[in-house]
């Protein structure tokens, strides 16, 4: 079997999750969507969400900075804002790398 070169789609992830856990595809999809909904809610409320053995999703503040318009070369000020960052856990790094 040839190695796949593209990212796994949501349907492929649901199928793999169903196969690994013995759940139906419908239940696996519901579990995946519930995990995503919980993560969104917790990050919005607590600014941080941890998936044990996988990583941490958190809100981080990005400072204002100077940038450059690529079309004109003109300097522009980029305002400060909040961004989402995902930090991979040590267990995940060790398993993959």
- The 3-class SS string of 46-75 reads HCEEEECCCEEEEEEEECCEEEECCCCCCE
**Mean pLDDT of all residues in 20-31:** 96
The answer to whether position 1 is within a domain reads: no
The answer to whether position 92 is within a domain reads: yes
Give the chain's domain count.
2
Does 39 share its domain with 52? no
Q: Which domain covers residue 42, as residue numbers?
A: 8-46
Does 88 share its domain with 58? yes
The answer to whether position 75 is within a domain reads: yes
Does 78 share its domain with 94? yes
**Mean pLDDT of all residues in 42-67:** 95
Residue found under tokens 């000020």: 77
The answer to whether position 2 is within a domain reads: no
**Mean pLDDT of all residues in 11-30:** 95
User: Quick one: pLDDT at residue 5?
Assistant: 79
Beta bridge pairs of residue 61: 82
Percentage of residues of the chain with pLDDT beyond 70: 96
User: Quick one: pLDDT at residue 4?
Assistant: 67
Q: Which of the four pLDDT bands, split at 50, 70 and 90, describes residue 91?
A: very high
């Amino acid at each position: 079997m040839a190695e796949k070169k593209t990212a796994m789609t949501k349907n492929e992830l649901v199928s793999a999750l169903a196969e690994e856990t013995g759940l139906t595809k419908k239940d696996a999809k519901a579990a995946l969507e519930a995990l995503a909904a919980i993560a969104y809610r917790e990050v919005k409320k607590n600014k941080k969400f941890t998936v044990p053995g996988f990583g941490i999703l958190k809100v981080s503040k990005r400072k204002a900075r100077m940038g450059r318009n690529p079309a004109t070369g003109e300097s522009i000020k980029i305002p400060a804002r909040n961004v989402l960052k995902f930090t991979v856990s040590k267990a995940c790094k060790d398993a993959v790398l």
